[in-house]
Amino acid sequence: MIDHLWLPYTQMKSQKSFVHVEEAYGTTIVLKDGSTLIDGIASWWTACHGYRHEKIEERVIAQIKKMPHMMLGGIVHDPALILSKKLTGLLDPPLEHVFFSESGSVSVEIAMKMAIQYFQNYKQPDKKKFISFYNGYHGDTFAAMSVCDPNEGMHARFNDSLIKQYVLNIPSSDSEFNDLENFIKNVTDHTAAIIIEPILQAAGGMKLHDADTLERIVRLAKKHNLIVIFDEIATGFGRTGKLFAYQHTNIVPDIITLSKALTGGTLPLAATVASKKIYESFLTEDYEDAFMHGPTYCGNPLACSAALASIELFEEQPRLEQAKEIESFCKASLSHLLNYSIVKEIRCMGAMAAIELSRPTDLIQLRAYFVGEGVWIRPLNSVIYIMPSLNIDKSSLEKLIKAIEKTIQKIN
Ligand SMILES: Cc1ncc(COP(=O)(O)O)c(C=O)c1O
């Protein structure tokens, strides 16, 4: 049966067995054979309210009966209008203008194009490169790959085909901040923007940096005429304990990208939200100055309806408190794992807990161990992590943590 299906990030020759899912509800995945798994990663961090929340389900069903899709070129519809207003209300000014697409990577491409064209609009066409950071991950399309960590194995073979960007270490000392400022001064005449996953660099290994570090980077970028893009595709919608990770700081980016939990894991949707300053630079008498991007399914009404229902759940339910409870629980119940020699570091923030191992392990074997323990956890290189739904119940969370400890015992 698998003969014709080509899976992402999968060596189809050597991987012979696959977990075959029949359905999912809450934080439970039901397999074909009737057995169940507790989901520790909420389908790549999307299903923030668990699977099939009835509020989202009802809205999507109501919308499908009215209008499953409508192109957004020259036509508008309520789901996109209402969602754009809602999103800008959740974000801080001056993030006021929402451009929809259907995947995180594409929303990053859009942010990059907006930054380049912003400077073209002000007759600075040379400003077109980007500064990004090691351990960063921004997607698998070409421009998005160009700002990912080039040492991260999965894109390495494409490095020669990518536009060369400036990938730097996140600074931590005063002297490193001085170096960063000098670097920015030297490249600002041909650089458009910096792009960073604020507070939590997720797919690159669940690395954390603090709010002060982020604020200092942003101040330097703004001082030297760079656009600031925050990629909150992983961190947005409560993952770090604030609705958006930048809200741990006192700064607001010029452009933010959102996806993943935007629809509560129901349908594909992404948003690139730009500040008034960026948007207004496109407003001229010339059609050619319009933003030339338009994914066929952008602003899909079903996906927008799912997103609106998901946002209402954030308003009605204590999701941010739940994320903080997950953080406290994980901190308390994981710290003793440092006694195992294979455990190098433990990092917890909001509804994310990561155990960094001192050496890489066989990821396929690890996944099999986890399935044997009745949980779905998919480590990243040498990092075992969980990013469950924010409303996961305590006993399911305990089961995830127990499964992690048992697996670490096996490989220690
Ligand atoms: C921070 C970040 N940016 C971009 C992406 C790419 O999103 P997508 O897989 O929807 O293209 C991801 C996906 O994991 C991500 O975590």
Kindly state the average pLDDT of the residues 206-214: 98
AA identity, residue 38? I
Q: Is the pLDDT of residue 208 over 90?
A: yes
Catalytically annotated residues:
9, 137, 231, 260
Output the CA 108–ligand 1 centroid distance in Å.
9
309-354 pLDDT, tens digit per residue, is: 999 999 999 999 999 999 999 999 999 999 999 999 999 999 999 9
Q: Is the pLDDT of residue 156 over 80?
A: yes
* pLDDT score recorded for residue 274: 98
Going by CA atoms, what residue is nearest to atom 3 of ligand 1?
138
Kindly state the average pLDDT of the residues 249-271: 98
Q: What are the pocket residues of ligand 1 if the criterion is a CB atom closer than 6 Å to any ligand atom?
A: 103-105, 108, 137-139, 197, 202-203, 231, 233-234, 259
Q: Is the pLDDT of residue 220 over 90?
A: yes
Residue that the structure tokens 């969980």 belong to = 386
Cis peptide bond prior to 94, omega within 30° of 0: yes
CATH classification at residue 285: 3.40.640.10
Output the CA 137–ligand 1 centroid distance in Å.
7
Bridge partners for 132 per DSSP: 167
Domain co-membership, 168 together with 284 = yes
Which ligand 1 atom is at minimum distance from the Cα of 202? 16
Q: Is the pLDDT of residue 1 over 80?
A: no
Q: Is the pLDDT of residue 93 over 80?
A: yes
Bridge partners for 95 per DSSP: 275
Bridge partners for 129 per DSSP: 191
* pLDDT score recorded for residue 34: 97
Domain co-membership, 31 together with 69 = no
Query: Domain end: 270, 289, 316, which one?
Result: 316
Domain co-membership, 25 together with 115 = no
d(CA 372, CA 35): 11
Range of the domain at 244: 54-316
* pLDDT score recorded for residue 173: 97
In sequence order, the 6+-apart residues with CB closer than 8 A to the CB of 315 are none
CA 236 to chain centroid, in Å, comes to 7
d(CA 229, CA 195): 5
Which ligand 1 atom is at minimum distance from the Cα of 259? 10
Domain co-membership, 178 together with 198 = yes
Pick from 106, 133, 138 the residue to mutate for probing ligand 1's pocket: most ligand atoms within 8 Å of its CB. 138
Phi, psi of 256 (to 5 degrees): -130, 140
Query: Domain end: 316, 350, 367, which one?
Result: 316
d(CA 169, CA 186): 17
Domain co-membership, 46 together with 190 = no
Residue that the structure tokens 């499908």 belong to = 64
Output the CA 61–ligand 1 centroid distance in Å.
27
Bridge partners for 166 per DSSP: 131
Domain co-membership, 226 together with 288 = yes
* pLDDT score recorded for residue 153: 77
Residue that the structure tokens 């990770």 belong to = 245
Closest CA to 131 of 108, 147, 155: 147
Domain co-membership, 37 together with 120 = no
Output the CA 153–ligand 1 centroid distance in Å.
16
CATH classification at residue 383: 3.90.1150.10
Which ligand 1 atom is at minimum distance from the Cα of 103? 10
Residues 299 and 82 sit within 8 Å (Cβ to Cβ): no
Output the CA 405–ligand 1 centroid distance in Å.
28
d(CA 219, CA 223): 6
Which ligand 1 atom is at minimum distance from the Cα of 144? 4
d(CA 371, CA 19): 8
Q: Is the pLDDT of residue 175 over 80?
A: yes
347-380 pLDDT, tens digit per residue, is: 999 999 999 999 988 988 999 999 999 999 999 9
3-state helix, strand, coil in the chain (%, to 5): 45, 20, 40
Query: Domain end: 249, 284, 316, which one?
Result: 316
| Count of the separate structural domains present in the chain | 2
Domain co-membership, 178 together with 60 = yes
Q: Is 174 exposed, middle or buried (CB count within 10 Å of its CB: 0-12, 13-18, 19+)?
A: exposed
* pLDDT score recorded for residue 182: 98
Kindly state the average pLDDT of the residues 127-132: 98
The answer to whether the pTM exceeds 0.95 is: yes
Going by CA atoms, what residue is nearest to atom 10 of ligand 1?
104
Per cent of the chain over pLDDT 90 is 95
Domain co-membership, 45 together with 143 = no
Domain co-membership, 246 together with 230 = yes
- The angle at the Cα of 370, spanning 366 to 371, to the nearest 5 degrees, equals 115
Q: Is the pLDDT of residue 53 over 80?
A: yes
Going by CA atoms, what residue is nearest to atom 6 of ligand 1?
139
d(CA 244, CA 250): 12
